[in-house]
Structure formats: C-alpha cells, structure tokens
Amino acid sequence: MAFDYDLFVIGGGSGGVRAARVAAATGARVALAEESRYGGTCVIRGCVPKKLMVFASEFPAEMEAAQSYGWTVHAGGFDWTGFRTHLHSELDRLEGIYRNLLKNSGVTTFDARARLSDAHTVALSTGESVTAKHILIATGGRPIRPELPGAEHGIVSDDIFHLEELPKSILVVGGGYIACEFACILNGLGVEVTQYYRGAQILRGFDEEARGLVSEDMIENGIDVRLGTNILDIRAEEGGYVVKPTSGAEKRFDKIFFATGRRPNSGDLGLEELGVRLGRNGQIEVDEYSQTAVPSIYAIGDVTDRVNLTPVAIREGMAFVETVFNGNPTPVDHDLIPTAIFTQPEIGTVGLSEEAARDIEPIEVYCTSFRPMKTAFIGGTGRVLMKLVVSQATRRVLGCHIVAPGAGEMIQMAGIAVKMGATKEDFDRVCAVHPTMSEELVTMKAPMRKS
C-alpha cells in the first residue's frame, strides 16, 4: 500500500520535533501536526519560561549579597508586565526557531488537531485525511487540578506565565518539582508564598537529606511550608480565595496554584478504538522501543509517562528513528538520568537516593554539608550538601546528590562519571578544583555512615 508519508508525528514538542527532523534526515517523508504552539510544554509553558523566571527571581537575594560585598545596590520594584512581555517575545522567537527547524528539514507541518481513524490514517481538524506507514504520538501531558470543592478557582502551571499581575499572596499546593520550583520563584519575586504539601516532607522520592535541606532553606527564605496539610475546600471572596485546610484555621490568598501532578494527553486520539493500550493514568503503554500494541503506532515523551523530562523525550524520539528508519533496534536507556530541580538552592541528582540504595545492598555514605565561601563571607545561613552513595561491594558510586546554587550545572558533569560506572576511588583520583563547592565531591575521605 502506498502511503502519503513514511512518518506522521502528532505533537510538536521537543520529542516530536526531534523525531520528525531526524527521521526526515534519513530521507523519509515526514509530516507533523500540532494543534497549539510549536515547542510544546518545555519551550512554551515549562522548562524555558520557568528557568527565565528563576533567573528573574534570584536578583533580590543577589543584590542583598552585593551590598555585603561592598556595592551600593538594591532591588527596586519588579516590573512583572515588562518582564512578561519580554518573556513572551522570547518564547515567540523560540517557537519560530522550532518551525524553521521543521521546515528546513523538509517536514510538512499541519497546524491542526490530529486523530487516528485507523492504524495508518490520521484525520485532521482541517478536514484533511492523510496516511502514513508509521505514526508517532508525542502529545505530552497537562497539569491537573485535584478533585475538591472550589478547585476551579485555582490556576495551574500553564497559567502562571500569563498572569495580568503578580498576586500579593499565593497558596502553592503540592510538593513535587513544579510546586517547589514555583514556590521559590514567586517568593523571590516578592510574593508572599504559602505551600501546602499533604505528605511528611516535600520532594518525595528524592534523597531524604537533600530534600530536608531544601525544605529548611525554603522556610529560611520566607516560604511558609505547611507539611501534612491539604485543602478541604476553597471559596471565592472579594478579589481572593478563602481556603479551609485539613489542619489549622481558614486563610485567605490572592491566588491558589495547583502543582498537583500532570496527566498524559492521550484522550480523543482514537487510540483505544484501534487497540492501543492505555495505563491507569491514561499513559500510552509502549515497549522498550516505544512501540504500542498496534505495530504501526509508536509513542514517546510524557504521553507515555516513563521519565517525564525533555531530554528523555528527545532521546526516546532518536531511539525510535534509529529503530524504525535506520534498521538498528535501539532500546531507550532510562537508567542513571541526571536531573535538577530549580529550587533555591537547586538540587542536582543522579542515581539512587541513600534510602533506595540501602534497600538494595550494603552502602557507604560520604557527605558533607557546609556554608559555602560566598555565603559565609556575608554571614548568610544557607548551607550546601555534597553527597555520594557508594556500593560497599563494587565501590561504584550509586548516587550523587548536590544541594547548592548551580547544582544543575554540577550534576551534569558528575552524571558522566556516575553513568560511566565510576567508583569512589575514581572520584578520589581526581584533583580538586579549589576553591569551589563541588571540590568536596573528590575530597571526602571517610564515610559518614555505613548501612
């Protein structure tokens, strides 16, 4: 059967665009449909605008520090409207780059919603219908609100970049990546931030010592972190919202921000009718080659809810092309992925937490927590953490956890060593870069504890 295209990609985010471009470079005829903006969550309503907001939010603390370093400076008012305009023009520029990358790669694009009508046919909201030998779903995910009375009053991460004005006070609900990053960002921008998290400590799943330190610093920086707290209901009241929490008295906030998780965008794509299996959370179930139960249909990125990170979606897209278009079956390697949470201070992490590692095998823990030079000089209280979790049997570094300004940059480098299987002794053989915070990673002599 002759198809219109060799590959039809649904979704123009980081994963879909990369897969389309790389497939086109093999000589394949490729088309891509995007119903919203090119660049997807990461570029338009996630990592990129978030990181720019992180930069904006760090200036007040930097300026306070600058005074102690002898500068006559102070952070005046923050011009949210001016920043937002600049932010969106930058996002427009980046979206333009994404469109051009596709065009220059020879990928045909459709600004339309796509739905599968059979295993090789895509129906577009423009009324067109096209066929393809392979179909790749890369439709990402979306933020969800919890089910509780008044939840419709809350905003989600998609909305935060479009606020008309910054609120005076905000309640951030959740304790994951997004909740903690935005609690820090908004606090830095001068918003009075309260954070409710239903569990015992924020950032569940991360190394306990690391999450504890970040939590302490967030509180020290002025965020009112309420653990073991959730919302019973919300009611609107003159320009704000009154929240009834599970513990403590009712409180009024200008805005409520739900960062209570995300769900895969797998609805209304015609998938289940064709026999594509979806998991409990709506994620498309795929094998190690990103292939669904229907052989012509593949899926990558957040819609598969494996590891929901942009660089992972990109790698899944490239492995898909290698498998399908280069005849070289390539499973996606989801092991030892370094990642960072852009809280203040940041967490950079790769491999197993101390708690996860000690459940698997006997370990040694090397760690140190201290006030870095820049902070100590000005009498600041913020501490950093450098930690290695080491296998007693193989000496391999099973996990590396850093809490520090710039931890995201540091963990990228440490991640190379950990991925290569470096032992504690390999770390020790590396000469320190002095004076830095990360030199501690190669100078910790005795284990803090064994378990």
Q: Which residues are catalytic?
A: 434
C-alpha torsion sign, points 222, 226, 227, 232: negative
CB burial of 382-404 (b: ≥16 within 10 Å; e: otherwise) equals bbbbbbbbbbeeeebbbbbbbbb
Task: Report the alpha-carbon distance of residue 331 to residue 32 in Å, rounded.
Answer: 23
Q: Is position 175 an interface residue for ligand NDP (rule: CB under 6 A)?
A: yes
Interacting span for ligand NDP (CB under 6 A) from 75-83, 193-201, 283-291, 314-322: 193-201
* CB-nearer residue toward ligand NDP: 390 or 400: 400
Q: How far is the CB of 184 from ligand NDP (least distance, A)?
A: 12
Question: Do 393 and 361 touch, CB atoms closer than 8 A?
Answer: yes
* CB-nearer residue toward ligand NDP: 107 or 350: 350
Task: Report the alpha-carbon distance of residue 285 to residue 312 in Å, rounded.
Answer: 16
The count of chain residues that interact with ligand NDP, using the rule CB under 6 A, is 24
Q: Is position 284 an interface residue for ligand NDP (rule: CB under 6 A)?
A: no
Residues 356-415 contacting ligand NDP, CB under 6 A:
none
Interacting span for ligand NDP (CB under 6 A) from 169-177, 208-216, 360-368, 379-387: 169-177
Which spans in 361-435 are helix H?
Answer: 373-377, 407-419, 424-428
* CB-nearer residue toward ligand NDP: 407 or 442: 407
Nearest Cα to Cα of residue 221 among 386, 50, 52, 57: 57
Q: Is position 177 an interface residue for ligand NDP (rule: CB under 6 A)?
A: yes
Residues 96-135 contacting ligand NDP, CB under 6 A:
none
Q: How far is the CB of 194 from ligand NDP (least distance, A)?
A: 14
Residues 246-265 contacting ligand NDP, CB under 6 A:
259-262
Q: How far is the CB of 442 from ligand NDP (least distance, A)?
A: 26
Binding mask 297-336 for ligand NDP (x = CB under 6 A): -----------xx---------------------------
* CB-nearer residue toward ligand NDP: 102 or 312: 312
In DSSP terms, 73 is beta-bridged to none
Task: Report the alpha-carbon distance of residue 148 to residue 145 in Å, rounded.
Answer: 9
Residue reference for tokens 């969106």? 88
C-alpha torsion sign, points 132, 321, 38, 94: negative
* CB-nearer residue toward ligand NDP: 34 or 181: 181
Q: CA separation (Å) from 49 to 44, 60, 109, 203?
A: 7, 19, 24, 21
Q: Is position 179 an interface residue for ligand NDP (rule: CB under 6 A)?
A: yes
Secondary structure tally for the chain: helices H, strands E: 13, 22
Point out the residue whose Cβ comes nearest to ligand NDP. 176
Selected binder of ligand NDP within 122, 138, 178, 417 (CB under 6 A):
178
Tokens at residue 169, please?
């006070």
Binding site for ligand NDP (CB under 6 A): 146, 173-179, 181, 197-199, 204, 230, 259-262, 308-309, 339-342
